Amino acid sequence: MIVGVPKEVKNNEKRVPILPFGVEDLVKSGHKVVVETTAGIGSGFSDELYEKYGATIVPTAEDVFLNSELIIKVKEPQPEEYNLIRKDQIVFTYFHFAANKILTESMENSKCIAVAYETVQNNNGELPLLTPMSEVAGRMAVQNGAKCLEANMGGMGKLLSGVPGVEPATVTILGGGIVGMNAAKLASGLGAKVYILDVNPARLKYLDEIMSPNVFTLYSNNHTIKDMLPKTDLLIGSVLVVGAKAPNLVTRKMLSLMKKRSVIVDVAVDQGGCVETCKPTTHADPIYEIDDILHYCVANMPGAVPFTSTIALANSTYPYIKKIADLGFLEAFKSDSALIKGLNIYKGTITHKGVAKTFNKNYLNPAEAIA
């Protein structure tokens, strides 16, 4: 199989979906890997290194898309890439369709096979390809939120950790999944007072057992959220409904409950956000204000640490890339119950319930689609 690796074109996105050592393994197995020039440079991997391990370096994205059966990426295709995607071409990346109707309809119209990292799901409910970037994003949410609290950034001028004689900041985290857990680990490690809100009692019990004494768990509902907002210095949104749009848990009206110059970091922005006033921003222009509340809503937060993120992502995605290349699309998906859940659009038909429900479109079970 010919595997194509175009350079990412999303704003300040420097990650690459495969390491040179993955290229070597694919080539040894009889596959061809086509890499757009400088695709890996932002993550610390040169063209020469990819060539050393067997990749063919090509000058343009057009060369990659035109000659490849399987396209692997990090972020969703951008508008300038839509017309490069061909009928029956497999595109394996983070799509987050529920947050982008234009992207969804463009992939439908292309008749491609769109496989989303974020909805590949094991039988135990784990999301093996979303987890590594959720770990990075959760930790970065705290780093960026702490920076936004500084007065020179427009924040209230509060140090997350506090100092002897001065209380620390209060961090409230909506959602106790992988993002929320990692955010709590870092925030609590810095000395903040941390509250995790979730609707799963078993998850709350688990978090209560493993977290440090300055982390508190609360059952999430509208009343609890409203009660916490006036106490909160940094609010982190980390709610996930697999494949679907995130629910709005904090409305614009509720911002009036928050302290002036407090900060919201909505990690759920790539699924539409769990704060009503959330809108996607970029690393080049990450922050905006609404009602005297700072919003940091960068949709590709892990892209700011591409060395770490690329290696973490590639370690998880590569076994699935290899399986598709070795077995072919149909056999790989029929033999892997986790991988088939990643199939979001199949040759013009939506095959993920969450995406279909979000846009009120027809849905076809993925197993039936490929039968």
Return the active site residues: 96, 270
**How far is Cα 193 from Cα 243, in angstroms, rounded to an integer?**
31
**How far is Cα 130 from Cα 138, in angstroms, rounded to an integer?**
12
Instruction: Transcribe 251-298 into DSSP letters.
Output: -TGGGGGSPTT-EEEEGGGGGT-SBTT---B-SSS-EEEETTEEEE-B
Q: Provide the CA 346 distance to its chain's centre, in angstroms.
A: 22
Return the HEC string of 123-145. Answer: CCCCCCCCHHHHHHHHHHHHHHH
**How far is Cα 89 from Cα 66, in angstroms, rounded to an integer?**
10
Nearest to residue 177, comparing CAs of 202, 152, 213, 150?
202
Residue 258 contacts residue 230 (beta carbons within 8 Å): yes
Opening angle at CA 234, ends 167 and 243, nearest 5: 150
Residue 291 contacts residue 260 (beta carbons within 8 Å): no
Residue 236 contacts residue 180 (beta carbons within 8 Å): yes
Query: Residue 222, class by beta-carbon neighbours within 10 Å (0-12 exposed, 13-18 middle, 19+ buried)?
Result: exposed
Return the HEC string of 183-201. Answer: HHHHHHHCCCEEEEEECCH
**How far is Cα 359 from Cα 357, in angstroms, rounded to an integer?**
6
Nearest to residue 323, comparing CAs of 119, 134, 115?
115
Sheet holding 234-237, edge to edge: 215-219, 193-198, 170-174, 234-237, 263-266, 293-296, 287-290
**How far is Cα 53 from Cα 236, in angstroms, rounded to an integer?**
41
